[in-house]
Amino acid sequence: MIGKFSAAFALVFALGEAASAQVTAARAPQHPVLRPAAVVTGGVVRIGDLIEHAGIIANVPIFRSPDLGATGTVSAEAVVEAVRAHALVGLDTGGVSEVTVTRASRAIAPKEIESVITQALAGRYRLGAPKDIVLNFDRDLRTVHVEPSAKGNVRVARIDFDSHSGRFTATLDIPISAVSRGTLHYAGRATATVPSIAVARPIARGEVLTQSDVTVEHRDRAEIRGDILHLPEQAIGLAARNTLEPGRPLRAADLMKPEVVQRNEMVTLVYRVPGIMLTVRGRAAQGGAEGDVIFVLNEQSNRTVQGIVAGPGRVVAAGTTTRVAANLVPARSAQFGEH
């Protein structure tokens, strides 16, 4: 009985010791440790941004922040020297030689600025779809960094456009912080374009265009005339009527259905009359796509006839129904007479 009591007492004592050790460890002050990197907001870097467990001096500013969206470095020695006056005891640098500091921001990308301006030009000056307006700015566009707390969209406060010169000026209203907005000014040239299709490489006559052979280019709307093609699907699967070179807009007249009969190719020449079909060998005098009218030499009669291309290697003689029927009657009569 006494042994059981002693064992129970020992267990309770051990648990108490463990709990006491945990409480003591929780209450023990943690040593300040230098961080290898920090992300800050605002114009100053505070001790707590660079040092973990800085305690009551965590909010004390010691350095100026980098510019919005920028990253800088500060040496460990500089940090130690900056906090020396604040009686921070036992700072552990942990082998860190320098700290990387990034100032957080909201980035307004060039694409966003360009999009806002093209939408305004399209809506107010009827220059076509925003995606078809090409802007050339007087100065290279750069990303604009504002406070991460800045809310709201970029807006056009004022825009002017000269249709003769193509010049534009724009004033944009942008969010700067949670409570304020500012303005940016841009100028340049705006060109209303139309999409056009061109070949990406030289194409020989009769060659069929594939998706990799065509490219979309935007050209000044004022320079485009005639029946140019705007969409890749208008060209893919068609053949070049003549040699095509890159850099020139494709027109409908430049393309044709692929030739299924080649010049000098041996074809099946078909003569049709009601209830009767006669086929003979022929040689195509020209190439043609399905539905084209071409000349074919009938090798049996040694006469050249016109025919309509009906498919690969097949041509249906055109305009010969009456003559063929007349020629066929004696032949059929002779065959019947032999029986």
| 2 and 82 housed in the same domain | no
Q: How many domains does one find in the chain?
A: 4
CA 9 vs. chain centroid, Å, equals 74
pLDDT digits (tens, 9 = 90+) for 106-155: 999 999 999 999 999 999 998 989 999 999 999 999 999 999 999 999 99
Q: In terms of residue numbers, what domain contains 16?
A: 1-25
C-alpha to C-alpha distances, 167 to 122, 185, 191, 195, 226, nearest whole angstrom: 14, 14, 9, 21, 27
| 231 and 121 housed in the same domain | yes
Domain CATH code at residue 328 = 2.30.30.760
| 100 and 84 housed in the same domain | yes
| 167 and 138 housed in the same domain | yes
Domain CATH code at residue 168 = 3.90.1210.10
| 131 and 274 housed in the same domain | no
| 176 and 248 housed in the same domain | yes
Tell me, what's the pLDDT at 259? 86
Distance (Å, whole) CA 279 – CA 8: 112
Distance (Å, whole) CA 137 – CA 320: 67
pLDDT digits (tens, 9 = 90+) for 86-107: 888 889 998 999 999 999 999 9
**CA-wise closest residue to 253 among 239, 265, 266:** 239
| 7 and 47 housed in the same domain | no
Q: Which of 195, 221, 256 is the last residue of a domain?
A: 256
| 84 and 185 housed in the same domain | no
| 226 and 123 housed in the same domain | yes
pLDDT digits (tens, 9 = 90+) for 15-55: 455 544 454 444 545 889 999 999 999 999 999 999 999 99
- 212-235 b/e with 16+ CB inside 10 Å = b? ebbeeeebeeeeeeeebbeebeeb
| 115 and 188 housed in the same domain | yes
Confidence of residue 218 (pLDDT cuts 50, 70, 90): confident
Q: Is the pLDDT of residue 8 over 60?
A: no
| 2 and 80 housed in the same domain | no
pTM: 0.63
| 279 and 229 housed in the same domain | no
Cβ–Cβ under 8 Å, residues 265 and 315: no
